[in-house]
Each structure stands twice: as C-alpha cells, then as structure tokens.
C-alpha cells in the first residue's frame, strides 16, 4: 500500500478525531481516535519505512501500546490508569528504538533543558490528587528519556 495514500488517511482521521472531540460527537471519536493510530501502525510496518529491523519492531510495539492507551483513554473515568500504563510501556519501547544501533546518548545541554522542563511540569501537577503524584513522578523521567534519545537519534 502506498505510504502517501495511508498518510492522507492518517491526516483525515486525525482531523475527524480532533473535530469530533471538540464537537462532542463521541461515537465518531470512538472510531477515529483508534483508527488514526491503526493507520500509523500500518505505515510503520511498511518494509521501506525503517531500514533497521529491530528499530521497526520496537517502534511498532510502542505504537501498539499507544493504540491500547488511546482505547483505554476513550473511557478516562474507569480506564485512566490503564491508559497511562500502556503509554508508559510504549514510551519505553520508543526509548529502546531510538537508541538501537547508536546506544544511549545524552546531550548535556538538551538533557538539562528537559530536566528543567520536567521539574516545572511536576511542580505544576502538584495540584493533582496525591494518588496521581507517584505515577506522574515515574512517567515524567520516561518521557524525558524518550525525548533525549529521540534528540540523540
């Protein structure tokens, strides 16, 4: 399947999701939100997209966990923690993907900026309920590590 064809459908599905989210059309959100990720996964499994096989496998695994997180977050009242955990596992796969073939990298200035950003975000979320502080405290370093590895890539 043509990558440009799929990319067009990703864009259309994402626009549909964003529009319907703001318009309050929940039935289509339930379709467009996971459909967008499913289409991105299809793009990721096209052999020509990734030249390193392990990189491709790790990215697809991360995307599958992200899709699972999206599905859980369709029902945030009852599945928020499961969605958060799914995204966390997905981000760990992305960290390994971004470091595959190159090793773990660290640019001191970029890492320092991310650390300042992470501390700022954690201070901002301190207003959240106490039960969410530990998950966010674990989540932020993983996201910052992912950002560092993506930058290093």
- Residue-wise pLDDT tens digits, 111-132: 788 888 888 887 777 776 777 7
Domain segments of the chain as ranges = 1-49, 51-153
In 3-state terms, what secondary structure has residue 50?
coil
Close Cβ partners of 64 (under 8 Å, ≥ 6 residues apart): 41, 90
Query: What pTM does this model have?
Result: 0.81
**DSSP code for 138:** H
Which tokens belong to 23? 């318009």
Alpha carbon distance 34, 69 (integer Å): 9
Q: Which residue has the higher pLDDT, 127 or 25?
A: 25
Nearest to 29 by CA among 42, 41, 16: 16
């Amino acid at each position: 399947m043509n990558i440009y064809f799929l990319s067009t459908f990703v864009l259309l599905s994402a626009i549909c999701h964003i529009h319907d989210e703001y318009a309050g059309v929940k039935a289509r959100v339930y379709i467009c939100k996971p459909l967008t990720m499913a289409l991105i996964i299809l793009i990721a499994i096209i052999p020509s997209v990734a030249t390193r096989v392990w990189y491709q496998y790790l990215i697809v695994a991360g995307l599958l966990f992200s899709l699972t997180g999206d599905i859980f977050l369709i029902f945030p009242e009852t599945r928020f923690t499961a969605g958060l955990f799914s995204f966390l596992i997905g981000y760990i796969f992305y960290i390994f993907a971004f470091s595959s073939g190159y090793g773990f990298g660290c640019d001191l200035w970029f890492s320092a900026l991310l650390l300042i950003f992470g501390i700022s975000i954690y201070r901002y979320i301190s207003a959240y309920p106490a039960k969410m502080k530990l998950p966010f405290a674990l989540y932020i370093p993983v996201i910052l590590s992912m950002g560092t590895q993506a930058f290093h890539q």
